Amino acid sequence: MPYSFYEDDHTAFRHSVRGLVQRSVLPHQEEWEEARLVDRSFWKAAAGVGALGLRIPERFGGAGSDDYRFRCVIQEELAEVGAASLASGIAINEDIVASYLVRFGTEEQQRRWLPGMAAGDVVTSIAMTEPGGGSDLRGIRTLARRDGSDWVLDGAKTFITNGAGSDLVIVAARTGETAGRARLSLFLVPSTAAGFQRGRKLKKLGLHAQDTAELFFDGLRLPADALLGEEGTGFRQLTAQLPLERLSIAWRAVVAAEAAVRWTLEYTRERTAFGQRLVDFQNTRFRLAELTTEVEVTRSHLERCILDLNDGTLDAITGAKAKWWATELQNRVVGACLQLHGGYGYMDEYRISRAYADARVQTLVGGTTEIMKDIIGRDLAGPKPDRGA
């Protein structure tokens, strides 16, 4: 029996998602790009076709599904129309915040936030990166201190996806030290809390429709039940979610690359130069053959990773490998596709132009390529020998 990644349920779901994209995404992309923000009406529309809350338990209004292939379908349909900004924003809501709440949240926390997320009424973000901090989570300076039964939060975050429009933010903060190393904890911070301030909506090279912002916390007081999980377990919580988070980025990368190749094949079949179609030049055919092969091989590996994720067997190292490889591939492929478009590839009226700018951040977010390689390399090296033995 031939291998098939998707099943009938995924195909039926795709029809609904494709209709959503045609009705509620395509007509608004330029408007969102200019506003640097996706209108809240989209979230309600997405909830209406079951495209939100896939991992959220049914008792909270979600689908209660751990099958990540449904999320893969959404990513593919958004990639086909070049809606990378939206794909990234949804991933924060669905793959990160919803997963943290489902895995680590109390019944009360889940009851408060998950129904709104599934219904499209609550948009979320996660705040880890700080000014000057980059990938160094152990250097986090945002501080949460106890004051009676409450917590008081002070600090600043930057590069926060969905930061300008989110209703709930998961904030990573220091809550002490152990053996000279920072102890991190995660907090559920409503944007309505006194002391919560939004800074600039940041201007970026790409992903213009994705609202990215600075956030500030000035004496922000939180009740004891705002703590997500146990105090001091922030690193462990973050590590537990890494396979899913990195695979989410990797899948967005490969489907964006696939879409770029499809657009380019269509363009080179229609465009003529020197009396023949561009695709009839041997260089064009060879380049497209290379790109198609690279993308298909990468997709095949990621499909295996997703099935392992569904089974609960995907590890953080494999996730790191998938993330750096797929995002570097995306940049190579999209760059080559722009080249095959010639001067028109530089024009915003062609999707490849926006895809080129949108792709660049992929090797940075979720841990840079260099961080991924260091993680893999340290695992390969194994423990350092005891020189004193």
**Tokens representing residue 71 in the block:** 């999320």
**Tokens representing residue 123 in the block:** 């948009």
Q: How far apart are CA 224 and CA 201, in angstroms?
A: 30
Q: How far apart are CA 78 and CA 85, in angstroms?
A: 9
**Tokens representing residue 375 in the block:** 């993680």
Strand 272-273, strand 276-277: pairing: antiparallel
Coil, helix or strand for 282? helix
**Tokens representing residue 283 in the block:** 């260089």
CB-based contact 172:128 (threshold 8 Å): yes
Please list the residues that pair with 172 across neighbouring strands: 186
Q: How far apart are CA 128 and CA 53, in angstroms?
A: 23
Please list, in sequence order, all residues whose beta carbon lies within 8 angstroms of the beta carbon of residue 101, skipping any fewer than 6 positions away: 109, 110, 113, 114, 117, 228
Q: Which residues are catalytic?
A: 245
CB-based contact 261:295 (threshold 8 Å): yes
